[in-house]
Amino acid sequence: METLLELTMTPAPELVGMARLAVSLVAHRLNYSCAAVEDFQVAVGEACADAIAYGRRAMDADATLRVRCSVGSGLFVIIVEASGRACDEPQRRHQGPFPSEQTLSRLVLDALMDTVAYRCAPGRGMSIRMARALPTDERARTTTAAAPPRTAQIP
């Protein structure tokens, strides 16, 4: 896989907009349609909100949020990871007559991305891996040699 973007930041709600914008720029460079770019923005926002909520539950003061975008095997892959010592398995149960925010988030991610995988392990935090097929003209290009990642550190 070729890493295109890696953002490491504190899991602060005010930074989610920046992560969404950064991923949308990468998706735009990959020649996705405007509608698809919008889908990625929404998906990253949902995943980051989920990860931030996880960080709060885990009560880890040193938690970090990492967003990584990569391409390979005809796929655009976005991984959103939250560090944390605790493991809080996502709750899928509905609470009362209305769905929870987490349930809404999962519905959105499942609808917008081709595949979504959630991982949560004690001491290793949680991650959400989302993938979508690359636009046709980009699939061949991903077989070329990998370029060094563009990395950003946000305090």
Partner 1 sequence: MSNLIGLTVRTRRVNARTAVVTLEGEMDIFTTPRARATMLRLLDDGCHDLIVDLRQAAYLDSTALGALLGMLRRARERGGGVRLLAPSHSVYRLLEITRLTLAFPIDATEHDALAAVGGRQGDA
Question: Is 62 or 98 the residue whose CB approaches partner 1 more closely?
Answer: 98
Question: Is 52 or 71 the residue whose CB approaches partner 1 more closely?
Answer: 52
Least distance from partner 1 to the Cβ atom of residue 80, Å: 13
Binding site for partner 1 (CB under 8 A): 12-18, 21, 38, 41-42, 45-46, 48-49, 52, 96-102, 104-105, 107-108, 111-112
SS (H, E, C) the chain: CEEEEEEEECCCHHHHHHHHHHHHHHHHHCCCCHHHHHHHHHHHHHHHHHHHHHHHHHCCCCCCEEEEEEEECCEEEEEEEECCCCCCCCCCCCECCECCHHHHHHHHHHHHCCEEEEEEECCCEEEEEEEEECCHHHHCHHHCCCCCCCEEECC
Least distance from partner 1 to the Cβ atom of residue 149, Å: 23
Least distance from partner 1 to the Cβ atom of residue 69, Å: 18
Least distance from partner 1 to the Cβ atom of residue 43, Å: 10
Question: Is 39 or 125 the residue whose CB approaches partner 1 more closely?
Answer: 39
Question: Is 1 or 107 the residue whose CB approaches partner 1 more closely?
Answer: 107
